[in-house]
Amino acid sequence: MDPRIEEHARILVEWSTEVKAGDMVVINATPDAHELVVALYRAIAKAGGRVVTLMNSEEALRAFYDGASEETLQVVPEHLKAITETCDVFIALRSPVNTKALANVEPKRIMIDNKTQQEIQSIRLGKRWSLTVHPCQTLAQQANMSLEEYRDFVYGAILIDWAEESKMLYVMKEHLESHKDIRYIGPETDLFASTEGRIWIASDGKHNMPSGEVFTAPVDDSVEGKIYFDIPFLQQGKVIEGVRLSFEKGEVVDFSAEKEEATLKSIIETDEGSRRLGEIAIGTNRGIKQYTLNMLFDEKIGDTIHCALGRAYKDCNGVNESAVHVDMIKSMHKGEIYAGEELIYSKGRYFYES
Amino acid sequence: MDPRIEEHARILVEWSTEVKAGDMVVINATPDAHELVVALYRAIAKAGGRVVTLMNSEEALRAFYDGASEETLQVVPEHLKAITETCDVFIALRSPVNTKALANVEPKRIMIDNKTQQEIQSIRLGKRWSLTVHPCQTLAQQANMSLEEYRDFVYGAILIDWAEESKMLYVMKEHLESHKDIRYIGPETDLFASTEGRIWIASDGKHNMPSGEVFTAPVDDSVEGKIYFDIPFLQQGKVIEGVRLSFEKGEVVDFSAEKEEATLKSIIETDEGSRRLGEIAIGTNRGIKQYTLNMLFDEKIGDTIHCALGRAYKDCNGVNESAVHVDMIKSMHKGEIYAGEELIYSKGRYFYES
């Protein structure tokens, strides 16, 4: 076995979810993630946990949606609820065979099922949980890489010193919370947002793996100015590129995209909340050196910032509500970030790197 | 998808486990059984059930045994217990990647774990449950066939008219229960057993799939005579062939094997109960035309009988106890079966076939 798979498992068990003796662990995995499942079983056993794996298959889910009546989709899966309630740790491994398997399912059917499973999802989020990927051909292809290259990319992002990364992220979090606002400056960009009363969250590998960002929700009416997102991103099966947004009193007043502007328009016009920012953030993971159209990785790229239109996270004290949460990323190599009057990032260096 | 997979799924859902609206279904599957999982999701959805799949991997289990302390092996997996308790139906799909993955695990470790999971196993057996295989290269190779041939073999055994088979099996069961003993006669064979007070079980596809046998436990001291088992079988990784057993007052008094006699000896000498028969049975599935060293299939072959040394099933009113239960099979094309004084099988015909 590639020793990096064992190391990935070790990080998930020891750092991300801190499995200890007697813990009940549930893994949720696609069949293609089997190697990482094997490595996790060894690591969990060593930590003294007991483990059960749920097989996650888009093809099977598609077949279920094909066959189920709306009534069936409203039946709560009590067995899934029971295993979720009784577990201490939940580890999800994404290694899709075909990311488009659900593309032609009537969206209403997925919505009904999601609503039915909402309670189970929130039970899950109350556990120690982690979400990661296992490198596979499907994700490599989506990233425009061979599988070998993609493996190097994934492990470059994940096999880092998380204790060290965490220390820096908490320095950043405390620094940002000691100020009342943030400002992104760069090419075609000057965006201001108040963060007064908000909590900045240091994402240090306890949930998302990879992690490496600090994020919060801006005060609703405070966002002013304009921003240019130069990193492409995937939404509704489309790659949107070169997004420009202008804000007044927290709302988008002008927008454009170099590619797929119609998709951007439909996102912004989803509902009231989709015209506002639900998240502002700084990516810090220098192990991620390029975008791969996978938001789990792209929003963490070092020397970037990102903002999301739509839903805010409650644990930031965010209030904006929306059916969408769409992240957009900007590289900051030529930019600056201010917290209050203080320059905290400039041309490739965070303040703590001096 | 091979339409036979859809048909296999339909039989499991409609006939074997009778899934109905609101049922909570748990599938236990190896990653290689994925196609059958997909077909089952569609069939279960149509029946109105909710389904969750547990991934069963010998490799992962092996890694768990490698890493776990004896203390960890004694911790009851409460999450597995919870999902087992809350399900209505349990469907196990065997499609191993490597049947030898656990070959070098210390047997004591497996024993401890089995004991820890005993309660969960008995909860499972209280549900509607079914056990089947999905054709894969590993099983095809074990059966000395190409995968294409093996698929034909498996579906030949499974895709039969189970309602019709069931009707015949219940005729057989009632007939056998109206008599007090059974006698197998054939080349080098004349074996008598009392079945007074015993229940004959018609295995008609409600649990094992394929099925096609009636079986019971003989009255302990009643077995007399000799028998020659001409069909090879797999035990402890060895293929045992040409077993001859002689019984007096229920106990083996003489034995030999044309191949692997030492393994046969170790089985017989396991404990007190392993010298006695725990099962006597008649195989009736004419869809199974050859042995494949897989007992799930071999003991069901039409025109055969089988006996097992060791543990008896309680639901037959059997009492013999043992750590082993080893089935051995005899073809009856040249033989006869008597129930009491009545000839119920002779040279290729059961009494109801006239």
* Chain B partners within 8 Å of A75 (Cβ): 22, 48, 50
Please tell me whether residues B109 and B20 are part of one structural domain: yes
Asked if B42 lies within 8 A of A67 by C-beta distance, the reply is yes
- Pick the residue of A24, A55, A95 with the most B CBs within 10 A to test the interface with B by mutation: A55
Q: Cβ neighbours of residue A336 under 8 Å, at least 6 residues apart?
A: A184, A185, A186, A343, A345, A346, A347
Cα separations in angstroms, B44 against A61, A113, A202, B54, B183:
11, 15, 43, 16, 43
pLDDT score of A292: 95
Please tell me whether residues A248 and A338 are part of one structural domain: yes
- Residue A116 touches chain B, beta carbons under 8 Å: no
The boundaries of the domain holding residue A142 are 3-159
Evaluated on CA atoms A124, A126, A128, A133, the torsion sign reads positive
Q: Which amino acid is at A280?
A: I
Weakest mean pLDDT among A254-268, B103-117, B239-253: B103-117
Of A37, A46, A79, the CB nearest to B87: A79
Q: pLDDT-derived band of residue B281, with 50, 70 and 90 as boundaries?
A: very high
Asked if A54 lies within 8 A of B50 by C-beta distance, the reply is no
| Total domains, chain A | 2
Please tell me whether residues A51 and A150 are part of one structural domain: yes
In this prediction, the answer to ipTM > 0.95 reads no
State how far residue B53 is from chain A, nearest Cα, in angstroms. Answer: 5
- Mean pLDDT of the A96-103 span: 84
Please tell me whether residues B196 and B80 are part of one structural domain: no
Inform me whether the pLDDT recorded for A354 exceeds 70. no
pLDDT score of A246: 98
Query: What is residue B295's three-state secondary structure?
Result: helix
Of A353, A337, A342, A341, whose CA–CA distance to A286 is shortest? A353
Of A31, A38, A52, the CB nearest to B80: A52
Do B51 and B41 contact (CB within 8 A), yes or no? yes
End-to-end CA distance of chain A: 40
Chain A and chain B share a number of CB contacts under 8 A equal to 164
State how far residue A11 is from chain B, nearest Cα, in angstroms. Answer: 16
Say which residue, A353 or A68, is predicted with more confidence: A68
Q: Cβ neighbours of residue B316 under 8 Å, at least 6 residues apart?
A: B198, B199, B200, B201, B215, B216, B217, B279
- Pick the residue of A64, A84, A127 with the most B CBs within 10 A to test the interface with B by mutation: A64
Q: How far apart are CA A260 and CA A229, in angstroms?
A: 14
Q: How far apart are CA A141 and CA A162, in angstroms?
A: 28
Please tell me whether residues A300 and A222 are part of one structural domain: yes
Of A26, A27, A78, the CB nearest to B86: A78
Q: Cβ neighbours of residue A132 under 8 Å, at least 6 residues apart?
A: A8, A12, A16, A91, A92, A93, A94, A158, A208, A209, A210
* Chain A partners within 8 Å of B52 (Cβ): 54, 77, 79-80, 83
Please tell me whether residues B58 and B194 are part of one structural domain: no
- Mean pLDDT of the B279-304 span: 96
State how far residue A4 is from chain B, nearest Cα, in angstroms. Answer: 16
Asked if B79 lies within 8 A of A87 by C-beta distance, the reply is yes
- Residue B70 touches chain A, beta carbons under 8 Å: no
Q: What is the 3-state secondary structure (H, E, C) of chain A?
A: CCHHHHHHHHHHHHHHCCCCCCCEEEEEECHHHHHHHHHHHHHHHHHCCEEEEEECCHHHHHHHHHHCCHHHHCCCCHHHHHHHHHCCEEEEEECCCCCCCCCCCCHHHHHHHHHHCHHHHHHHHCCEEEEEECCCHHHHHHCCCCHHHHHHHHHHHHCCCHHHHHHHHHHHHHHHHCCCEEEEEECCEEEEEECCCCCCEEECCCCECCCCEEEECCCHHHCEEEEEECECEEECCEEEEEEEEEEECCEEEEEEEEECHHHHHHHHCCCCHHHCEEEEEEECECCCCCCCCCHHHHCCECCEEEEEEECCCHHHCCCCCCCCEEEEEEECCCCEEEECCEEEEECCEEHHHC
State how far residue A56 is from chain B, nearest Cα, in angstroms. Answer: 8
Asked if B59 lies within 8 A of A78 by C-beta distance, the reply is no
Inform me whether the pLDDT recorded for A227 exceeds 80. yes
Q: Cβ neighbours of residue B325 under 8 Å, at least 6 residues apart?
A: B278, B279, B308, B309, B310, B311
Q: pLDDT-derived band of residue B27, with 50, 70 and 90 as boundaries?
A: very high
Cα separations in angstroms, B209 against A10, A193, A241, B235, B307:
40, 64, 54, 21, 20
Weakest mean pLDDT among B3-7, B80-84, B114-118: B114-118
pLDDT score of B98: 84
- Residue A38 touches chain B, beta carbons under 8 Å: yes
Residue of B nearest to A38 (CA): B60
Q: How many CB atoms lie within 10 A of CB A229?
A: 24
Residue of B nearest to A71 (CA): B48
Element housing B51 (H / E): strand B50-55
Q: pLDDT-derived band of residue B354, with 50, 70 and 90 as boundaries?
A: low
Residue of B nearest to A88 (CA): B79
What are the beta bridge partners of residue B349? B346
Asked if A38 lies within 8 A of B59 by C-beta distance, the reply is yes
Element housing B203 (H / E): strand B201-203
Asked if B55 lies within 8 A of A51 by C-beta distance, the reply is no
- Mean pLDDT of the B264-287 span: 96
Please tell me whether residues A144 and A185 are part of one structural domain: no
* Chain A partners within 8 Å of B83 (Cβ): 52, 79-80, 82-83
Residue of A nearest to B97 (CA): A34
Residue of A nearest to B72 (CA): A48
pLDDT score of A96: 87
Please tell me whether residues A174 and A187 are part of one structural domain: yes
Boundary residue ending a domain (A159, A186, A210) = A159
State how far residue A71 is from chain B, nearest Cα, in angstroms. Answer: 8
Of A31, A76, A80, the CB nearest to B31: A31
Boundary residue ending a domain (A159, A182, A207) = A159
Its pTM stands at 0.93
State how far residue A72 is from chain B, nearest Cα, in angstroms. Answer: 5
pLDDT digits (tens, 9 = 90+) for B140-187: 999 999 999 999 999 999 999 999 999 999 999 999 999 999 999 999
- Mean pLDDT of the B337-347 span: 94
Please tell me whether residues A129 and A177 are part of one structural domain: no
Q: How far apart are CA A44 and CA B315, in angstroms?
A: 38
Inform me whether the pLDDT recorded for B295 exceeds 90. yes
- Residue B45 touches chain A, beta carbons under 8 Å: yes
Average pLDDT, chain B: 95
Of A176, B60, A159, A340, whose CA–CA distance to A151 is shortest? A159
pLDDT digits (tens, 9 = 90+) for B60-72: 999 999 999 999 9
Residue of A nearest to B73 (CA): A50
pLDDT score of B64: 97
Boundary residue ending a domain (B126, B159, B192) = B159
Of A38, A57, A80, the CB nearest to B63: A38
CATH number at residue A86: 3.40.1830.10
* Chain A partners within 8 Å of B64 (Cβ): 41-42, 44-45, 51
Asked if B55 lies within 8 A of A77 by C-beta distance, the reply is no
Asked if A55 lies within 8 A of B29 by C-beta distance, the reply is yes
* Chain A partners within 8 Å of B63 (Cβ): 38-39, 41-42, 45
Of A63, A75, A77, the CB nearest to B52: A77
Cβ burial of B99 (10 Å; 0-12, 13-18, 19+) is middle
- Residue B67 touches chain A, beta carbons under 8 Å: yes
Average pLDDT, chain A: 95
Please tell me whether residues B115 and B213 are part of one structural domain: no
Please tell me whether residues B180 and B295 are part of one structural domain: yes
Q: How far apart are CA A279 and CA A287, in angstroms?
A: 23
Structure tokens at A1: 């076995």
- Pick the residue of B24, B51, B55 with the most A CBs within 10 A to test the interface with A by mutation: B55
Q: pLDDT-derived band of residue A316, with 50, 70 and 90 as boundaries?
A: very high
pLDDT digits (tens, 9 = 90+) for A113-170: 999 999 999 999 999 999 999 999 999 999 999 999 999 999 999 999 999 999 999 9
* Chain A partners within 8 Å of B86 (Cβ): 78-79, 81-82
pLDDT digits (tens, 9 = 90+) for B198-230: 999 999 999 999 999 999 999 989 999 999 999
Asked if B85 lies within 8 A of A83 by C-beta distance, the reply is no
Q: Which amino acid is at A125?
A: L
- Residue A24 touches chain B, beta carbons under 8 Å: yes
Please tell me whether residues B197 and B78 are part of one structural domain: no
Asked if B83 lies within 8 A of A82 by C-beta distance, the reply is yes
Burial A133-163 (b: 16+ CB within 10 A, else e): bbbbebbbebbebeeeebbebbbbbbbbebe
